[in-house]
A and B are shown apart, each in its own frame.
Chain A
Amino acid sequence: MSVGIVMLVHTALHRAQQVARHWATAGCPVVIHVDKMVSKQAYDTFVADLADLPGVLFSKRHRCEWGTWGLVAASQDASEMMLDRFEEVRHVYLASGSCLPLRPVEELVEYLAERPRTDFIESATTADVPWTVGGLDHERFTLYFPFSWRKNRYLFDKFVEIQRNMRLKRRIPKGIVPHMGSQWWCLTRQTLSAVLQDPERAKYDAYFKRVWIPDESYFQTLSRLYSTNIESRSLTLSKFDFQGKPHIFYDDHLQLLRRSDCFVARKIWPNADRLYHAFLTDSEAAMSRQEPNPGKIDRIFAKAVDRRTRGRSGLYMQSRFPNLGWENGVTAGKYSVFQGFSELFQDFESWLSRATGAQVHGHLFAPERAEFAGGQSVINGALSDNAKLRDGNPKGFLTNLLWNTRGERQCFQYGPRDNPKINQHMAIDPNAQISVISGAWAVALFKSNANFADIRAQAALLQKIENKMLDELRSPDVKARVRIWTMAEFIEAPMEPLQVIIDEIGQKSTRRLAEAPRLEDLTGFGRFLQNLKNQGMHPYLMGDFPVDPIPRSAQGAQRKPYLVKK
């Protein structure tokens, strides 16, 4: 038999025992290192339980705290014992107690027998690895780390900082180039014995004892000195999360692991009975594996890291409440806001919905209620149209609406009568497309049947509010796509801006618009504005309207919609 297993065991001794038995009965010699933290009593039972297997030995125990030298010392002692006591071993495989062999042991033996000179050890120079925790990569080799990262994080960080400030640096021993990689390797007798019997070993050990996380760099660095053929990857499947802590496998990963095509996986949850049963006792079933699909595990765990670090855009919930500017998308989808359009055109909403296929709401922030599309009182996600509920948290209302309807483009009307608090939130949202015809609110007043004194007061108020809104839309930190026309500007050639807006929404094919919305009859509007002026209220947001637009109204009473053709 050519493969020997070195097992480092800390917890879940009953599982480690099962796995050791599995290796040993398949003919692989096993040397086990048990952490010194394990109680004498538990250790003795563990040893006694494995006493029936002659191929299982126990090496000298060290204290193994994460990130310290103990783990390397343990691997060294156990490896020496392995090479010493089992002459026939050609490859030594370093595994932990929570590793689980996925493929039958014979396959691993065969695989390694076909590659008698290859060392499988992930080993990369510090400049090339992205996965270091705490921002320490090269500094692991050049600073001192007298304090525990786990127990004394504050002192650890402070001491690193002090050394950085003092530009303190350790000297790296001559002849070695620091490499790092997964701590789970499989080395040939040749390489491993060369590392362990190196005449300079005392010097290297002394150096690495003060390096941070030496188990990820000791063998990775020194094997570079002797190996003739390094394959820089680990045969152990092991995935890490964003904190550098290994992902754990559970029963529901069974199919995933079956299709992973790896020899050994870590880390397995000790109570994952189904996994241990499937891979240790039921080798028949494991043999009849399905098509290997190792990419799937990568995707699942990469997605988990992404979810934890970036999250879902536009989602606000109990465990995701990003600070301002950290949202990765303030809202869940693109949306369009129209100000003044439904005042200027008679059937704007139905026209827009025909032209774009989007969901078109009325004034969502109207003072009476949220005018949902189709006059509904409740909409997706059971969002109510109640104005008080909405105004309690207008931003939450908008983000909820867009989250609930994600996948469907939302359009709604807005104006100076509506809740003004939402305006600045929309202005800083890159998902918003805001189109404003300023002063169009006057059309509704012009059409109304109110007393002129009331109209005047109302006009003054709306103009003041809209002016403030426009200021917000013109401020330098606006991220929305904002377009503003004065009303006079807009009605000169209404189709052109409409075409641009519709194209940008881009729901349907980008044909020319075949149908235009019907413009309100504006005969006498200029006179109306003049009357306001005469009353001492100065309407300016709508641009310049002549008091008597002579030529246009001369053709006929009803103004016809027209298309601009290029």
Chain B
Amino acid sequence: MGVWQAYRLRLQRRRWRIRAFRKRRELNPVANRTADIRKTDILLMCTQRNEGVRLPWFLDYYRNMGVNHFLFVDNDSNDGSLDYLASQPDVSIWTTQSSYKRSRFGVDWMNWLLMRYGHGHWCLTVDPDELFLYPFCDTRPLRALTDWLDASSIKSFSAMLLDMYPKGRIDHQTYEIGKNPLDTISWFDSGNYTIRKNPQFGNLWIQGGPRARMFFADKPDLAPALNKIPLVKWDRRYAYVSSTHNLLPRGLNLVYDEWGGEKASGILLHTKFLNVFPEKAAEELERKQHYGASREYLAYADGIKDNPELWCKWSEKYINWRQLEILGLMSKGNWA
């Protein structure tokens, strides 16, 4: 990387940080319990809108994992999820009516919270429909992972997005609040992911899975990116660039090994295709607040009309992280 490019990336990082700083005014605190955060706590950052259905399981899942404090930005919910979150003892929540799109799909808000409260903490930045998995997550708490990362001088941890879907039509499932969504949507694509390197930021760009297979088969370049780096030992000088797909400084994107070995990595189980999805997709299409002129939601609207079955004969049924490790979707690296 030349000096000139390094300089430009530095400028860009600064721009994102200034932007995040300015966007802080859009966030109005509803319940600020950040005074409870202790020095070694693991934090979770999340933007949500009308995800009341998912939240009870989401909070339980991450509490059991060992997250100590949740920091939410509520983007104008009207399903009571704001009050629900505000009443939780380990949640701090801000609300905003501002445009999701103009905050670069929530990234500015997340960057601000990270900058303000995340410095020096291990921070997990996820969406409400993402469930994080890491090697040995059934026997070791998240703290074991972060301690190991600290001891290995690793600052960022990759977790690819894995789209989960049901067998049968999406709207034919029923999901009960507080239940494990993986009981209803337990299938995934195991081996159709393609990878390219992003020369500017050095991160991998991964596409594929059921969304590419069903909704973007004719325009594969536009298929959504699945690479994510959700777990970072945050420093106030860092900034996420595009969702949690990549961040700056670019060294943090080097979560993969280039010399034949495997680094440790996890998975984000993506529970987007719960039965509430078609309704949500219609609403999001109306709001036009999503990435790339909401083309993803346009494609869904088309796809869902014609053929809502994502399941195929070669779909895999989710069992546990070890299964994903064997399939080569995540890796233990040298953690044993």
CB of B5 closer than 8 Å to a CB of A: no
B18 CB to closest chain A CB (Å) equals: 30
The answer on a CB contact under 8 Å between B158 and A327 is no
Whole-angstrom CA separation of A310 from B260 in the bound complex: 5
The chain A residue with its CB closest to the CB of B331 is A319
Chain B residues within an 8 Å CB radius of A303: 336
The answer on a CB contact under 8 Å between A403 and B328 is yes
The chain B residue with its CB closest to the CB of A324 is B258
A554 CB to closest chain B CB (Å) equals: 52
Whole-angstrom CA separation of A318 from B158 in the bound complex: 7
Chain A residues within an 8 Å CB radius of B196: 393
The answer on a CB contact under 8 Å between A247 and B330 is no
CB of A242 closer than 8 Å to a CB of B: yes
B157 CB to closest chain A CB (Å) equals: 9
With contact pairs A248-B151, A318-B158, A322-B257 given, residues A404 and B191 touching in the complex (Cβ less than 8 Å): yes
Segment 150-198 of B: residues with Cβ below 8 Å from A: 151-152, 158-160, 189-197
CB of B291 closer than 8 Å to a CB of A: no
CB of B227 closer than 8 Å to a CB of A: yes
Whole-angstrom CA separation of A380 from B328 in the bound complex: 14
Give 1 or 0 for each of B110-153: 1 = CB within 8 Å of chain A CB.
Answer: 00000000000000000000000000100111011001100110
Chain A residues within an 8 Å CB radius of B189: 381-382
With contact pairs A245-B152, A327-B260, A382-B213 given, residues A318 and B191 touching in the complex (Cβ less than 8 Å): no
Which one, B136, B152, B255, contacts A250 given CB within 8 A?
Answer: B136
Whole-angstrom CA separation of A307 from B262 in the bound complex: 6
Binds B, one of A68-76, A88-96, A383-391: A383-391
Give 1 or 0 for each of B300-336: 1 = CB within 8 Å of chain A CB.
Answer: 0000000000001111100000000000111111111
A247 CB to closest chain B CB (Å) equals: 6
Chain A residues within an 8 Å CB radius of B158: 318-319
The answer on a CB contact under 8 Å between A252 and B136 is yes
The answer on a CB contact under 8 Å between B217 and A307 is no
Give 1 or 0 for each of A305-322: 1 = CB within 8 Å of chain B CB.
Answer: 101111110011111111
With contact pairs A248-B148, A378-B312, A382-B190 given, residues A319 and B143 touching in the complex (Cβ less than 8 Å): no
Which one, B139, B207, B257, B315, contacts A320 given CB within 8 A?
Answer: B257
The answer on a CB contact under 8 Å between A382 and B262 is no
Whole-angstrom CA separation of A300 from B158 in the bound complex: 23
Segment 239-280 of A: residues with Cβ below 8 Å from B: 241-243, 245, 247-248, 250-252, 269, 271
Chain A residues within an 8 Å CB radius of B257: 308, 311, 319-322
With contact pairs A304-B336, A318-B255, A320-B331 given, residues A250 and B140 touching in the complex (Cβ less than 8 Å): yes
CB of A396 closer than 8 Å to a CB of B: yes
The answer on a CB contact under 8 Å between A320 and B262 is yes
Whole-angstrom CA separation of A396 from B196 in the bound complex: 9
B208 CB to closest chain A CB (Å) equals: 8
Chain A residues within an 8 Å CB radius of B219: 388
Chain B residues within an 8 Å CB radius of A154: none
The answer on a CB contact under 8 Å between A323 and B195 is no
Whole-angstrom CA separation of A393 from B196 in the bound complex: 9
The chain B residue with its CB closest to the CB of A239 is B336
The chain B residue with its CB closest to the CB of A246 is B151
Which one, A307, A322, A326, contacts B331 given CB within 8 A?
Answer: A307
With contact pairs A310-B261, A321-B258 given, residues A392 and B221 touching in the complex (Cβ less than 8 Å): yes
B122 CB to closest chain A CB (Å) equals: 15
Which range contains the number of A residues in contact with the other chain?
A: 35 or more
The answer on a CB contact under 8 Å between A388 and B255 is no
Whole-angstrom CA separation of A317 from B262 in the bound complex: 9
The answer on a CB contact under 8 Å between A322 and B136 is no
Chain B residues within an 8 Å CB radius of A378: 213, 312-314
Which one, A301, A382, A392, A396, contacts B312 given CB within 8 A?
Answer: A382
State the interface size on chain B (CB cutoff 8 A).
Answer: 59
The chain A residue with its CB closest to the CB of B216 is A389
The chain B residue with its CB closest to the CB of A386 is B217
Which one, A301, A311, A382, A396, contacts B261 given CB within 8 A?
Answer: A311
Chain A residues within an 8 Å CB radius of B220: 388-389, 392
With contact pairs A307-B261, A318-B265 given, residues A384 and B217 touching in the complex (Cβ less than 8 Å): yes
B159, B192, B197, B218: most-surrounded residue (chain A CB, <10 A): B192
The answer on a CB contact under 8 Å between B330 and A252 is no
CB of A228 closer than 8 Å to a CB of B: no
CB of A379 closer than 8 Å to a CB of B: yes
CB of B43 closer than 8 Å to a CB of A: no
A250, A319, A403: most-surrounded residue (chain B CB, <10 A): A319
CB of A441 closer than 8 Å to a CB of B: no
The chain A residue with its CB closest to the CB of B221 is A392
The answer on a CB contact under 8 Å between B260 and A328 is yes
The answer on a CB contact under 8 Å between A308 and B262 is yes
Chain B residues within an 8 Å CB radius of A248: 147-148, 151
With contact pairs A378-B314, A384-B213 given, residues A321 and B256 touching in the complex (Cβ less than 8 Å): yes
Which one, B195, B197, B255, B264, contacts A396 given CB within 8 A?
Answer: B195
CB of B106 closer than 8 Å to a CB of A: no
Give 1 or 0 for each of A30-44: 1 = CB within 8 Å of chain B CB.
Answer: 000000000000000
CB of A145 closer than 8 Å to a CB of B: no
Whole-angstrom CA separation of A250 from B190 in the bound complex: 29
**Hey, which bits of chain B sit against chain A, CB under 8 A?**
136, 139-141, 143-144, 147-148, 151-152, 158-160, 189-197, 204, 206-207, 210, 212-213, 217-221, 227, 255-265, 312-316, 328-336
21 contacts between A and B (CB under 8 A): A242-B334, A251-B140, A303-B336, A305-B334, A307-B261, A310-B261, A312-B328, A317-B195, A318-B265, A319-B331, A320-B256, A320-B261, A322-B257, A322-B260, A378-B312, A380-B191, A382-B192, A388-B217, A389-B212, A396-B194, A404-B190
Known A-B contacts: A304-B332, A318-B159, A318-B330. Give 18 more (CB < 8 A).
A250-B139, A252-B139, A311-B261, A317-B160, A317-B193, A319-B255, A320-B262, A321-B195, A380-B314, A381-B189, A381-B314, A384-B217, A386-B218, A388-B220, A389-B220, A392-B221, A396-B193, A403-B191
The 7 A-B residue pairs with the shortest CB-CB distance in the complex, in nearest-first order:
A381-B191, A308-B334, A304-B336, A319-B265, A396-B194, A382-B189, A404-B191
